[in-house]
């Protein structure tokens, strides 16, 4: 695993009057911490926001350049972040990732599973390899990170795991993405079940469930689902949302922050929708 480091020291605050949603003293492991293309993807915003709130962030991405860009921003803001490359669909790499985080920071307090892949197709038109690849990225990756991190959190006496799912796992939202929808639904049920199994151990598991978000990924989705008609694709997505606009990566990041922070200590096994009312409108 290739590692790049960027850090400064920050003093944790334990004062009862400290501002809410601080993560001082916490180590956060984020998968998919980079953003492909200019702008803010979910993992990039989560990593930067959590560092701003005092966390020591260990981020990985398949794209080393994208991960390094996130670390550069954190460094310029005097935060603490270590980044590397990892394919979290492989068990050996994922186990090594967690060991590397432990070697660097000594613990894992928060795990954010943020990798994802969406490809068009129904069971007839989609080939088996595409189906398997989406299941691996969207669901198996979270299983592998949880498999490696849960024993660490249990030994520590607690922790928070945040899985980034999608409204596609709850409702049909107009795109033929059967594997993506199935895998994201599976991710939510895996989260609920594991949350119950580990609640007595002080470990919380929850999902952030984004709706239609305006991130750099939208350009790639326009190519896959709208023949490259980016402006029309954006307009359609905005019109689908009751609020009249897509959200952005910071909306997802702030929801994740709530679930990471101690203020959500009594919240587990649930989904936090970040969708501008989309799923309520399509029930």
Dump pLDDT digits (tens) for 184-227.
999 999 999 999 999 999 999 999 999 999 988 888 888 888 88
Indicate left, alpha or beta for 216 from its phi (over 0: left) and psi (-120 to 50: alpha).
alpha
CA-wise closest residue to 145 among 201, 192, 96: 96
Residue 9 located in a structural domain: no
Give the Cβ contact number of residue 122 at 10 Å: 10
CA–CA separation, 66 and 75 (whole Å): 14
Report pLDDT for 18.
72
| Total structural domains within the chain | 1
**269: phi then psi, degrees, rounded to nearest 5:** 70, 30
Residue 7 located in a structural domain: no
Once rounded to an integer, what is the mean pLDDT over residues 96-110? 98
Tell me the catalytic residues: 180
Report pLDDT for 11.
46
Name the pairing type of β-strands 27-31 and 3-6.
unpaired
Dump pLDDT digits (tens) for 139-187.
999 999 999 999 999 999 999 999 999 999 999 988 899 999 999 999 9
Q: Which domain holds residue 222?
A: 22-281
Residue 127 pLDDT > 90: yes
CA–CA separation, 145 and 88 (whole Å): 7
Residue 231 located in a structural domain: yes
Residue 270 located in a structural domain: yes
Beta bridge partners of residue 177, listed in sequence order: 121
Beta bridge partners of residue 31, listed in sequence order: 60
Q: What is the DSSP letter of 247?
A: B
Dump pLDDT digits (tens) for 59-86.
999 999 999 999 999 999 999 999 999 9
Q: What is the DSSP letter of 248?
A: -
Residue 29 located in a structural domain: yes
DSSP secondary structure of 102-164 = HHHHS--SEEEE-------B-TTTS-HHHHHHHHIIIIIHHHHHHHHHHHHHHHHT-EEEEEE
Residue 14 located in a structural domain: no
Q: How do the residues of the chain divide into helix, strand and coil, expressed in percent and rounded to 5?
A: 45, 15, 35
Report pLDDT for 273.
98
- At 133, list the tokens: 């690849």
Residue 8 located in a structural domain: no
Residue 2 located in a structural domain: no
* CATH code for the domain in which residue 200 is found: 3.40.50.720
């Amino acid at each position: 695993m290739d590692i790049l480091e960027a850090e400064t020291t920050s003093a944790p605050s334990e004062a009862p009057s400290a501002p809410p949603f601080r993560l001082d003293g916490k180590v956060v492991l984020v998968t998919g911490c980079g953003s492909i293309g200019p702008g803010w993807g979910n993992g990039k915003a989560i990593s930067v926001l959590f560092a701003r709130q005092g966390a020591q962030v260990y981020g990985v991405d398949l794209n080393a350049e994208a991960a390094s860009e996130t670390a550069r921003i954190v460094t310029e803001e005097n935060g603490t972040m270590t980044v590397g490359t990892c394919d979290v669909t492989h068990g050996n790499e994922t186990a090594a990732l967690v060991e590397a985080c432990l070697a660097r920071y000594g613990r894992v307090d928060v795990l954010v599973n943020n990798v994802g892949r969406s490809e068009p197709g129904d069971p007839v038109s989609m080939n088996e390899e595409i189906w398997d690849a989406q299941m691996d990225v969207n669901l198996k990756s979270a299983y592998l990170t949880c498999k490696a991190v849960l024993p660490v959190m249990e030994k520590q006496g607690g922790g928070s795991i945040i899985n980034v799912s999608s409204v596609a796992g709850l409702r049909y939202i107009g795109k033929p993405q059967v594997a993506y929808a199935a895998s994201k639904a599976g991710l939510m049920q895996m989260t609920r079940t594991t949350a119950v199994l580990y609640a007595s151990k002080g470990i919380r598991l929850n999902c952030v469930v984004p709706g239609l978000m305006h991130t750099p990924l939208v350009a790639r989705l326009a190519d896959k689902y709208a023949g490259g008609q980016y402006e029309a694709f954006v307009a359609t997505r905005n019109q689908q949302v009751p609020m009249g606009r897509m959200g952005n990566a910071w909306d997802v990041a702030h929801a994740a922050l709530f679930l990471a922070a101690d203020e959500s200590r009594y919240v587990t096994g649930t989904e936090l929708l970040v969708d501008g009312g989309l799923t309520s409108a399509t029930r």
